[in-house]
């Protein structure tokens, strides 16, 4: 017996790549997304009263992991990528049925000529993620603050100090003149969590990375006392420092240690969501 | 684009019928279930470290609702079955993709000749429910106690007083001699929520009901000051008072007002889960 589902919507988020996606929802409050409803589900009445809920569940497909199979054991980043746990004791994306659930903040509903869309905040969802269902977050049923959280008992408490080079500050102002994208806050929150895969401590010489947020390439360096953002570029207008040669994930692929392997262990993917 | 999923396990619960299933998980703490893993997922290593989590998410299919289609508006029992809300503002089972999520208590893992099974408590899952995924409940990511809960801001606070007729007390003792099924507590908790559909106030003359828990038929009466449990019978040994003529849901079907219509509005199904 199998069950076949068709998406009801698609996520348009600030995360075009896996690299940089928060490991759980709401860790990066500035991470925004639009959930665009597909034809047939683009009906306002199907969302009546939803704005009474501050948060909603997004039930989605880890579409970027499809066809890659699953492994019974994964390496959660919370355990430094060194210890394995069972896939069902993790939120890793490479699951027998690659379905994710994510509780995010509902900001509002947009009705436009393009159709109906939900505005979300605090997402950990890859741009293009197919959405199978939307449910209200019902605190009396869903919130169990006293639950015992195994190897992830609380949010990661380490936050890297983030600094911006003067050039990067100017480029942020130019790329986000109205501040609508909360770009400085978004970059700070994403980098403060250290998006590097756990295996990066095997590459101590690698200190320069590029990640994409929206249509921008963010170049940053790991320093002894924190992370320095050096450049914000739009690829269409990029200079040689933002070329594809760095790649969003950096040296991993070149060393045969690809992101896929590293992201298997994530409680929440780098892989889509 | 569609996505096809195969179950990894099946729920064996105390709820053989929709009638009586709690409207959310953990409202009935005595509701127990076994989650039996299917071949291929029956691997202990895939569950390593899961017992460190007190609660887990069950991602399941509302299998009893398949093929019945969805409606953009539903009638949540929390609104007395009189007001409609959008299906995506509800946890009703008749959804475009009939996927449910339920956070339940993980009691332990059973390894036996029959295979691997998880022992669960506080379930709202119909016996036979196909399970698509199991995830740890991560409190820092999943618990949002400050969330605003729309039309269901808190757990239903009304609890009916439940009394047992002397005959029913004797029958419980005989049916659950070791107390392992917590039968008296289970019956009390299920009935205290009043499992009758919202539309039953249209049938004030109807006061006698039969519901099934495990392999037992529980007969009860609505009285002015509460609910009286009159009989606990095993159908194989039943007398004429527990015949099929009452049916688990009672007069609804005969009046063209079937359970399906009533359960559409449930935040969590009578329909499977």
pLDDT, position A260 = 26
In chain A, residues with a C-beta closer than 8 Å to the C-beta of B73 are 45-46, 48
Question: Stretch B219-233: mean pLDDT, rounded?
Answer: 94
Q: DSSP string spanning A53-100?
A: BSEEEEEEE-GGGTTS---SEE--GGGTTTS-EEGGGS--S--SS-EE
- Cβ neighbours for A76, distance < 8 A, ≥ 6 positions apart: A83, A85, A90, A92, A151, A152, A265, A266, A267
- Range list of β-strands (E), B65-184: 73-74, 85-86, 99-112, 115-121, 130-136, 162-164
Instruction: Quote the CA–CA distance of A157 and A209 in Å, as a whole number.
Output: 23
Mean pLDDT of B17-29: 91
Q: Do B162 and A154 form a contact (C-beta atoms < 8 A)?
A: no
Ramachandran angles phi, psi of B13, nearest 5°: -120, 175
pLDDT the model gives residue A35: 98
Tell how strand B208-213 and strand B216-223 pair up.
antiparallel
pLDDT in the model for residue A244: 29
CB-based contact, A52 to chain B, within 8 Å? yes
Predicted local confidence at residue A60, as pLDDT: 98
Mean pLDDT value of segment A133-155: 94
How far apart are alpha carbons A140 and B27 in whole angstroms?
Answer: 9
Q: Give me the pLDDT at residue B266, please.
A: 33
**Nearest residue to B4 (alpha-carbon basis) of A57, A134, A61:** A61
Instruction: Please determine, for residue B232, whether its predicted confidence score (pLDDT) is greater than 90.
Output: yes
Is a pLDDT exceeding 50 seen at residue B63?
yes
Which tens digit of pLDDT belongs to each residue from A73-107? 999 888 877 899 999 999 999 999 999 999 999 99
**What is the predicted pLDDT for the residue at B199?**
66
Higher pLDDT, A250 or A128: A128
CA distance B70 to chain A (A): 10
Chain A, nearest residue to B4 by Cα = A4
**Interface residue B267 vs chain A (CB under 8 A):** yes
Give the pLDDT of residue B237: 57
Euclidean distance between CA atoms B199 and B252, whole angstroms: 9
Write down the pLDDT at residue A67.
80
Domains in chain B: boundaries:
9-142, 162-264
Quick one: pLDDT band at residue B78, thresholds 50, 70, 90? confident
| pLDDT attached to residue B139 | 96
pLDDT tens-digit map of A240-257? 333 222 333 333 332 223
Topology of domain A9-142, CATH: Elongation Factor Tu (Ef-tu); domain 3 (2.40.30)
CB crowding B219-250: b at 16 or more within 10 Å, else e: bbebeeeebbbbbbbeeeeeeeebeeebbbbb
Which whole-number Å values give the CA distances from B33 to A56, B19, B100, B106, in the listed order?
27, 16, 16, 10
Q: Compute, in degrees rounded to 10, the torsion defined by CA atoms B180, B17, B197, B27.
A: 30
The alpha carbon of residue A157 and the mean position of all alpha carbons in its chain are separated, in whole angstroms, by 18
Architecture of domain A162-264: 2-Layer Sandwich (3.30)
Does residue B249 register a pLDDT over 80? no
Contact yes or no for A138 and B149 at CB 8 A: yes
Confidence of residue A201 (pLDDT cuts 50, 70, 90): low
Q: What is the pLDDT of residue A251?
A: 31
């Amino acid at each position: 017996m199998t069950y076949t589902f068709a998406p009801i919507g698609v996520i348009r988020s600030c995360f075009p790549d896996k690299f940089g996606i928060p490991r759980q929802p709401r860790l990066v409050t500035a991470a925004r997304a639009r959930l665009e409803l597909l034809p047939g589900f683009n009906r306002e009445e199907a969302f009546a009263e939803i704005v009474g809920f501050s948060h909603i569940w997004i039930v989605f497909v880890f579409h970027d992991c499809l066809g890659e199979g699953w492994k019974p054991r994964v390496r959660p980043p919370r355990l430094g990528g060194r210890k394995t746990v069972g896939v069902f004791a993790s939120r890793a994306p490479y699951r027998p049925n690659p379905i994710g659930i994510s509780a995010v903040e509902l900001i509002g509903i947009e009705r436009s000529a393009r159709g109906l869309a939900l505005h979300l905040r605090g997402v950990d969802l890859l741009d293009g993620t197919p959405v199978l269902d939307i449910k209200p977050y019902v605190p009396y049923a869903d919130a169990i603050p006293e639950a015992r959280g195994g190897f992830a008992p609380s949010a990661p408490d380490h936050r890297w100090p983030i600094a911006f080079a003067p050039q990067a500050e100017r480029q942020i102002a130019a790329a986000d003149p109205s501040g609508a994208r909360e770009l400085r806050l978004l970059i700070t929150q994403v980098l403060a969590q250290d998006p590097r895969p756990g295996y990066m401590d095997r590459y101590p010489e690698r200190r320069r990375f590029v990640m994409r947020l929206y249509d921008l390439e963010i170049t940053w360096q790991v320093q002894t006392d924190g992370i320095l953002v050096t450049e914000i570029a739009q690829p269409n207008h990029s200079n040689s420092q933002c070329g594809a040669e760095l790649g969003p994930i950096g040296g991993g692929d070149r060393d045969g240690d690809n992101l896929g392997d590293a992201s298997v262990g994530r409680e929440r993917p780098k892989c889509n969501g």
